[in-house]
Structure 1
Amino acid sequence: MSLKTIKLLLTCLLITFSVQTLAAESIGKVVLAQGQPIVERDNQHLPIKRNDKLYQKDRLITPVGSRLLIKLKDKTTVSLAENTVFELSRYTFGKKKSDVSFKMIKGAFRTLTGAIGKQANPKFEIHTPLATIGVRGTEFWGGMIFSDALDVTMLEGKGVYITNEFGTVDITRPGEGTMVKQGMAPSDVSVWTNEKLKKAAAATAVGSPGNTDDENNLDLFQLMNEAY
């Protein structure tokens, strides 16, 4: 075997090792788990609990009665309602530039962006069966639990855009939302009622059974602000 061939093989091995190492790096962890949530990883379905590490390509599944709160390396938090399937498709976090692409297959979620949302031009998208939701540093809610349509609302922040092949809308003020039906552009932005906002928040609230709302919110605030 020639020296050139040996060098080529060593280079290939180093590249393979680097890719495997990168793929194996944790991108976040479970902050709180209720019920019996599952992670689909490497063709296996595994139970997950608080402080378990999360990785790119993980598919999070919350059966009926289960909910999850996760935190990513940049301190972005995502809470999942019961009966949700949510995939951590791609997560690249850098000090100046990041690239995040997640997928909600069904259910509902609530997201509060961390350091990524403070970057100049963050790329943070969540893909759903009906539209793509893009974030500009904000807290927002999206789900398909009120009907077959996708509902999206901004809770606070700079803005959210919702786009599909039929059109695009921007939400720029807290409490505003849109609805996306199959085969249609996102609806005109409108103000959500307090009742709808409360139902959305309740669907993705994660806490210990028996806690009051105030206690639950305090628990989550403390958990979300722990160092990663």
Structure 2
Amino acid sequence: MSRLSKFSPLVLILLCFLTTPAVASNEIGKVVLIQGKPLVERQNQHLFIKRNDPLFTEDVLITPVGSKILIKLEDKTTISLAENTQFELSKYQFDKKAQTSDVSFKMLKGAFRTLTGSIGKQKQPKFEIHTPVATIGVRGTEFWGGMIFSDALDVTMLEGKGVYIKNKHGQVEITRPGDGTMVSKGMKPSEVSMWSEEKLKKAAAATELKQQRQNESEDYLNY
């Protein structure tokens, strides 16, 4: 007789709960579309993720070569990640009733595209994405950021109220769609200037999933 057979069924069930790692973070959104085989790093484990899987604070999303992901947060903010990206959902606080927010994410490498939801409509939203060279903050907008054209960080606003980019060396703000800036390590953000049509198309293509365009009108985007 094995040692486990000596325990009652109830005790065995309790043991299973005790040995199963619990998710300590809060659920903040879900996966709505994937391409390839994206992963999530959660509690020191790397797990494959699929459509409709829940996401939690402190999750690190990883998109290997050939993989992309589109996620939707509680306030209906959407974020799409290019391949070869690592993106940490560090902090997400959203109070719909009080109209307050405190969001702090990290792009460790790669590229992303974000369209803010209810948070972007707040009077004083707090939504920042930290990168190795600068912090990107929004005032309610759709914007793109990435480190895929060079070692520098590129940021552009696609539409909306504005995006600020800052580090200890300086700060700039983008207020016109199609304008962008570049930030190299140890340097202040460059002067804001209009991106070429070719660069805008390359940025959009990097973060667009194959099925995203045809599915954008479907109900799967409803959280």
Distance 1:42 1:183 in 2: 32
Question: Residue 111 in 1 paired to residue 114 in 2?
Answer: yes
- Which of residues 119, 143, 147 in structure 1 aligns to 2:146? 143
Q: Secondary structure, in 3 states, of the residue corresponding to 1:29?
A: strand
| CA contact 1:34–1:66 (8 Å) conserved in 2 | yes
Give the match for residue 214 of structure 2.
Answer: 218
Q: What percentage of aligned pairs have identical amino acids?
A: 71
- Give the TM-score normalised by structure 1: 0.85
| CA contact 1:207–1:220 (8 Å) conserved in 2 | no
Question: Residue 227 in 1 paired to residue 222 in 2?
Answer: yes
Q: In 2 relative to 1, CA 104–122 (structure 1 residues): closer, same or farther, beyond 3 Å?
A: same
Give the match for residue 180 of structure 1.
Answer: 183
Letter in structure 2 aligned against 1:105? L
Letter in structure 1 aligned against 2:67? S
Q: In 2 relative to 1, CA 223–199 (structure 1 residues): closer, same or farther, beyond 3 Å?
A: farther
Give the match for residue 66 of structure 2.
Answer: 65
Give the match for residue 160 of structure 1.
Answer: 163
| CA contact 2:103–2:126 (8 Å) conserved in 1 | yes
Q: Which runs of 5+ in 2 are unaligned?
A: 1-21
- Give the TM-score normalised by structure 2: 0.87
Distance 2:120 2:210 in 1: 25
Question: Residue 46 in 1 paired to residue 39 in 2?
Answer: no
Give the match for residue 10 of structure 2.
Answer: none
Higher fraction of helix: 1
How far residue 130 of structure 1 moved from its aligned partner, in angstroms, is 0.5
Q: Which runs of 5+ in 1 are unaligned?
A: 1-20, 209-215
How far residue 23 of structure 1 moved from its aligned partner, in angstroms, is 4.3
Superposition CA RMSD, Å: 1.4
Aligned length: 200
Q: Deviations over 1:99-135 (max 9, x none)?
A: 0000000000000000000001000000000000000
Matches within 5 A, 1:93-108: 93-95=94-96, 96-108=99-111
